[in-house]
Amino acid sequence: MPDPIVRFDGSDIDDLIPEEGNYRAFVHSVKQRTSERGNSTIQVVYELLDVDPAWDHVSEYFVTTGPNRRALAISLRRLLSLCRACGLDPGKGDEVNLVHLVGIEIEIRVGHEIYDRRKRLRVLAHRPRA
């Protein structure tokens, strides 16, 4: 019996990637992580609705510590956008347990990016579900 041989053509997988645009999504999980550079980050995983199952999860990372003040400000602004899309409006000094976002349906705008020579989805914006 011959050895099983499979030829992978990356375009087969990339052909299934959802178009860039707005999608309904649920916040699937929220976890504390450490980046490759040792910075504290928060990983939010979204479950996209009505897309091919090979592409129905997309992660977004929010840096919460590190030496780059500009990167921290951008990250916190994006995190505030997510909170507002989920119906929260935290003010200065408010603490938010982000685990409570799990299960909330929102709309996210996704785009494409190349990472490690592969096409993947990237979260560009968050909006409340209309």
* 10: number of Cβ within 10 Å: 10
**Can you give the pTM of this predicted structure?**
0.86
- Are 84 and 92 contacting, i.e. CB atoms less than 8 angstroms apart? no
- Per-residue confidence of the chain (130 residues) as pLDDT tens digits? 788 887 766 556 666 889 999 999 999 999 999 988 899 999 999 999 999 998 999 999 999 998 889 999 999 999 999 999 999 999 999 999 999 999 999 999 999 999 888 888 999 999 998 7
CA–CA gap between residue 17 and residue 33 (Å, rounded): 26
| CATH classification (class only), 24-128 | mainly beta
